[in-house]
């Protein structure tokens, strides 16, 4: 199934089963209000947001956010071991909804 390019998107979208290479910097935990996809009511969540400097080898000005506690912990473990002001990671997403899992490796 081909993926249509997004021209104005300023965020990184993971595609299940596809490995994504990201160079990340400036992690921030933020609170945002979203519409719950199941209840259709607003709710406030916390998510981890990084600024993205490179996506799959291309220089970009984007954000990568995740509300997943598991993925946030994996990324912050790599961030805590960094030697500079950025990290390079490969992220692969598997599954959907509550069965979602991630593989994260440093570059």
Q: What is the pLDDT of residues 24-39, one digit of tens each?
A: 999 999 999 999 888 9
- Token pair 């160079």: residue: 23
Residue range 70-96, pLDDT digits in tens: 999 999 999 999 989 999 999 999 987
| Domains in the chain: boundaries | 19-106
Q: Record the pTM.
A: 0.84
Q: Is the pLDDT of residue 41 over 60?
A: yes
DSSP state of 98: G
The predicted pLDDT at position 9 comes to 78
Q: Is the pLDDT of residue 66 over 60?
A: yes
Instruction: Please report which residue ranges of the chain form alpha helices under DSSP H.
Output: 69-80
Strand partners, 19: 92
**Whether the Cβ atoms of residue 6 and residue 62 lie closer than 8 Å to each other:** no
The predicted pLDDT at position 8 comes to 66
Helices (H) and strands (E) in the chain, counts: 1, 5
């Amino acid at each position: 199934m081909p993926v249509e390019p997004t021209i104005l998107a300023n965020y990184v979208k993971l595609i299940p089963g596809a490995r994504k290479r990201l160079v990340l910097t400036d992690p921030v935990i933020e609170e945002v209000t979203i519409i719950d996809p199941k209840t259709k009511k607003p709710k406030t969540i916390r998510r981890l947001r990084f600024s993205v400097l490179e996506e799959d080898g291309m220089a970009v000005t984007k954000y990568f956010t995740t509300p997943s506690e598991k993925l946030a912990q994996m990324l912050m473990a790599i961030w805590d071991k960094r030697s500079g002001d950025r990290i390079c990671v490969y992220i692969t997403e598997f599954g959907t909804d509550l069965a979602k899992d991630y593989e994260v490796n440093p570059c």
